[in-house]
Amino acid sequence: MRNDMTENPYRTLFRLDGKRAVLIGAGGIGREVALALAAHGAFVVCADKDPEVAKQTAAAVSGEAVSLDVTDGAAVRDAARSLGDVDILVLTAATNVRKRMLDYTEEEFDRVTGLNLKATFTVLQSFGRAMVERGSGSIVVFSSVRGFVVEPGQSVYAATKAGAIQLVKTAAVEFGEAGVRVNAVAPGVVETPLTNQIKANKEWYDAYATKGALGRWSQPSELTGAVVFLASEAASFVTGSTVAVDGGWTAVDGRFTPPT
């Protein structure tokens, strides 16, 4: 019996060779996502509001850099038309204002919802339209564990991340007949510059570390496997799902371990 492993389709199940990916939000976690997509064979277009961030990440993956403010609906629609056939779209861009509800301003509310929710809708609509017309594609939107569980000071952020999950589900249903898959990734606590405020407070940092089942924070690189999976043929029958990459955060009821 011939043992030719090159004919085994499972060897290439996660490969993205020949795929064109657009990554919106190219810094922090986005940079690691770009590296992972490129490592699996995709050509990555790195889009970011900061053109230098886009250029640096694009250079790291031999990709293309695009300056894009996703809160500008016209710019997003233009990008969806001008970037050619897109096989994979990953949206990581988001913002947060950590304040209690009674202290929130209208401007802060509009800023957080404008990026995290309205821009998510615009990206899904604009890039989804082109994918539906072509009859293929995979979209991955970053949500958060805050889409499921909350804490004081996270009202608007949590609402937008829950909203993003529902947008993903709806897009999956509406785009599915055309062969387009739409999914979300929900990270837990991640070591990035955006969490410096928490890391500067040891009690706060340790409380987050011990909340999950693994007892630690994640690194940005640990989120990339879920993205590659959802983008690849390994997830050909996965759509409308939210993959929690949270170290067991949403699996644990409270931070107290009772004596047993």
Alpha carbons 187 and 59: distance in angstroms, whole number: 26
pLDDT of residue 120: 98
pLDDT of residue 145: 96
Question: Which helix H or strand E contains 82, and what residues bound it?
Answer: helix 73-82
CA atoms within 13 A on the CB side of 53: 19
pTM of the entire predicted model? 0.94
Residue pLDDT tens, the chain, 260 long: 445 556 888 999 999 999 999 999 999 999 999 999 999 999 999 999 999 999 999 999 999 999 999 999 999 999 999 999 999 999 999 999 999 999 999 999 999 999 999 999 999 999 999 999 999 999 999 999 999 999 999 999 999 999 999 999 999 999 999 999 999 999 999 998 778 888 899 999 999 999 999 999 999 999 999 999 999 999 999 999 999 999 999 999 877 777 87
Q: Which of 10, 104, 157, 205 is catalytic?
A: 157
pLDDT of residue 1: 40
Q: Which of 153, 218, 155 is nearest to 187 (CA)?
A: 218
Alpha carbons 112 and 162: distance in angstroms, whole number: 13
DSSP letters of 114-163?
A: IIIIIHHHHHHHHHHHHHHHHT-EEEEEE--GGGT---TT-HHHHHHHHH
pLDDT of residue 143: 98
Q: Which of 161, 216, 173, 227 is nearest to 24 (CA)?
A: 227
Residue 165 phi/psi, 5° resolution? -65, -40
Q: Which of 23, 156, 143 is nearest to 79 (CA)?
A: 23
Tokens of 33: 């996502």
pLDDT of residue 2: 47
Whether 157 sits among the annotated catalytic residues: the reply is yes
CATH, domain range 16-191+223-244? 3.40.50.720
